[in-house]
Amino acid sequence: MQFTIHHIEDWQNIAETVISQLQHNILLLKGNLGAGKTTFTQFLLKNLESQDEVNSPTYSIVNEYNTPKGKIYHFDLYRLKNLEEVYDIGIEEYLDNAFLCIIEWPEVYEEELYGLKFHEMNIINTGDNREITFD
């Protein structure tokens, strides 16, 4: 699926569509700094009826949110330098016990997902708009 974001409100439609298409409990978010990964996550969590405040997990590495469907874990692996650091945060336990794991900057861990089913969203900031693909 492909989308174009012209205004921040356009994230609402994308969040609704993604929720209707979720078949796996892992969602990889890729995009450059400022592309809108956390903004998308805010809209997604709101649509999943979370009452929690959604912030970027840049420094905490992982944030936990509650929804009526279950726990959602939001990761930001940008600051992790290698696979060992990813395992040190206990990522496998999170993956096993979540309704959904949203992983920003997943590249350091991506090869370990081989054999697992997941969704991927790519967000490209074109300056005026955001071009999004979702699989």
Q: Cα separation of 93 and 95, whole Å? A: 5
| Rg from Cα positions in the chain | 14
Q: Cα separation of 47 and 9, whole Å? A: 13
> Per residue in 91-123, pLDDT tens?
999 999 999 999 999 999 988 988 899 999 999
Give the chain's residues under pLDDT 70.
none
Residue 87, token pair as written in the block: 């395992």
What separation in angstroms does the CA of 54 have from each of 3, 108, 123? 23, 23, 19
